[in-house]
Amino acid sequence: MANDHCMAKTYCKLYGTHKCHEFCDPYVILKAIYSQTNLPKRYQYDRPITPSKRDEEAFDVLHKWKLDVVDHVDNGDNLYIWSEGTGNGKTTWAGKIANYFIRKMMFKGEIEDLVVYLSVSKFLEDYRDNYSTRDDDFAKLREKALNAKILILDDIGAEKSSEWVHNRLYDIINYREGEMRTIIYTSNLSIEEVAQKLDKRIISRLKNSTQVQLVGPDRREMNKDV
């Protein structure tokens, strides 16, 4: 019986055959990988997304970045996806790129420290809550955020600004920059707008990114595929 919950069903050649079941080796490995990523379930598979006419060029850039993601990671390249609106595919694209990278690395036999997703505001709230008392799960998540081959920092610029926030973000971004580890940022602000909220040490590193702006409509309101 086909495993309808398999995250690889859109591309696995065994899907729908008698060999498709919950004990399939690739399925078990994928589950183990995703359990380490902190990716919301909504983004743990390759969601189809069709561009509005205004976003066709941006989607082409993002699709090429996805196809070349292994080279980008090897080079320590960063990506900044932003839009003034909401619901038009920023996080979906970050997830699509991460999922493609996971697939490529899994079939090369590499499964450790591939991707970590952080909602910036929630991560910083949890960081503050755990700052004086050690929580092992949070400590592991922070360690993964430093060392994963791809870190997704979702909705940067939405967090409350303070010197403490600046320092915590800088610690992570600067460490990864020094180690040439890829960061995919999403935001509702341009880098120039984020510069008004965060300090210059962080902004100079954000500018070292491929910048892609999405301008299409809110797909959630249209009940479409985001």
DSSP for the chain reads: ---TT-TTTTT-TTTTSTT-STT-HHHHHHHHHHTTT---GGGSS-------GGGHHHHHHHHHHHHTHHHHHHHT--EEEE-SSSSSSHHHHHHHHHHHHHHHHHTTT--SS-EEEEEHHHHHHHHHHTSSS--HHHHHHHHHHHH-SEEEEETTT-SPP-HHHHHHHHHHHHHHHHTT-EEEEEESS-HHHHTTTS-HHHHHHHTSSEEEE-----TTTTT---
pLDDT level of residue 9 (50, 70, 90 thresholds): low
Q: What confidence tier does 2 reach under pLDDT thresholds 50, 70, 90?
A: very low
Confidence at residue 1, expressed as pLDDT on a 0 to 100 scale: 42
Task: Summarize the confidence of residues 70-91 as an average pLDDT.
Answer: 94
Helical packing angle, 90-106 and 56-67, nearest 10°: 20
| Helix, coil or strand: residue 24 | coil
Q: What is the pLDDT of residue 148?
A: 97
- Quote the pLDDT of residue 147: 96
Q: 121: pLDDT confidence band, cut at 50, 70 and 90? A: very high
- Decide if pLDDT at 68 tops 80: yes
Residue type, 217: P
The proportion of the chain whose per-residue pLDDT surpasses 70, expressed as a percent, equals 84
Q: Which of 48-57, 132-141, 171-180 has the highest mean pLDDT?
A: 171-180
> What pLDDT was estimated at residue 19?
59
Asked if 26 and 77 count as a contact pair (C-beta separation under 8 A), the reply is no
Dihedral sign of CA atoms 51, 55, 61, 62 in order:
negative
Model confidence, pTM = 0.86
Of 32-36, 45-49, 54-58, 176-180, give the lowest mean pLDDT range.
45-49
- As to burial, measured by CB atoms within 10 angstroms (0-12 exposed, 13-18 middle, 19+ buried), residue 199 is middle
User: Of 40, 55, 71, nearest to 154 (Cα)?
Assistant: 40
The amino acid that residue 109 corresponds to is: G
pLDDT of 61 above 70: yes
Please answer whether residues 38 and 141 qualify as being in contact, where contact means their C-beta atoms are separated by less than 8 angstroms.
yes
Is residue 42 within 8 Å of residue 18, measured between CB atoms? no
